[in-house]
Amino acid sequence: MNKTPIQNHLPKASRLIYGCMGLGGSWDNAPYSQQDIDLAHQAVNTALECGINYFDHADIYTMGKAEQVFGEVLKARPELREQIILQSKCGIRFEDAHGPKRYDLSPEWIEESVNNILSRLGTDYLDTLLLHRPDPLMQPELIAEAFDRLQSAGKVRHFGVSNMNQHQISLLQSQIKQPLVINQLPLSLSQADFVEDGVLVGTGDSANVGYTAGLTDYCKQNDIQLQSWGCLAQGLFSGRNLGGQPPHVHATARLVREMAHGYQTSAEAIVLAWLMQHPATIQPVLGTTHEGRLRACAMATQVQLSREDWYKLFVTTRGQELP
């Protein structure tokens, strides 16, 4: 596998990321349980055994409980902190007494969010902080000041974004002196518009691509690490019940199974290998809490698809031949 852009800043970053969205129990204000803590221990142990040292959080995951149970793991095993890379995101606020669900990239909220994230995780610093969603009211010059304060205080080492296009990144970077080193997006075999953006150039169908034209190339040219959430397509091609799905989805799932047998690996590994083989060196974020499935995903680092098989998967999942 090629070196990923994030390894220019975090040389020991693993090729895969463990996404902690499923930790902490329910998405409500009920307290987390000992069972939730045990699951967090199991997830961390399995990830480390699979060579994954990069852990992705967000302040909203299970209403903050994902970070809290991860903090319990670090409390029990403080030596882990220097062995792992911790990432979290901020900027989404749920409906409350002050307003509806909204995005908030004001400097006050960014700094308050980071302080709360560090408290829940029980650590002094984040390796990476991502702005979770673009805020229509964001003011880059004020975000820049917040980033300066967070970095000078030693609370955040690197910064990035999530769900942003190149125009938003460029606007932010025009004011922020630290390089924005990550962009986390929904990229997968079932959400392949990042590939369609390139192959449909010069055709009438290019207008229907749900992806900002040129974003992948922009990130590659600027050494911005693309991370993929939803990278397994919610199990669509690796074991999920396909009742009601269109024919091309069934055909892709069959092809994935055939390739898994041929490459002597898991279906999950085939789905991830397709994504990871793209020259953008995408980092998948694995959100499963199932130990066996996580191990199946980790097999992707050992799979190199042939060019023909990569295209077979792409053409099958798009449901028609290339232009």
The residues annotated with a catalytic role in the active site are 61
Looking only at the bridges linking them, the beta strands covering 225-229 and 180-186 are parallel
Taken as a whole, the chain contains a residue count of 323
Q: Which residues of 117-143 are buried (b: 16+ CB within 10 A; e: fewer)?
A: bbebbbbebbbbbbbbbbbeebebeeb
- In three-state form (DSSP H/G/I as H, E/B as E, the rest C), the secondary structure along the chain is CCCCHHHHCCCCCCCCEEEHHHCCCCCCCCCCCHHHHHHHHHHHHHHHHCCCCEEECCCCHHHHHHHHHHHHHHHHCHHHHHHCEEEEEECEECCECCECCEECCCHHHHHHHHHHHHHHHCCCCEEEEEECCCCCCCCHHHHHHHHHHHHHCCCEEEEEEECCCHHHHHHHHCCCCCCEEEEEEECCCCCCHHHHHHHCCCCHHHHHCCCCCCHHHHHHHCCCEEEEECCCHHHCCCCCCCCCCCHHHHHHHHHHHHHHHHCCCCHHHHHHHHHHCCCCCCEEEECCCCHHHHHHHHHHHHCCCCHHHHHHHHHHHHCCCCC
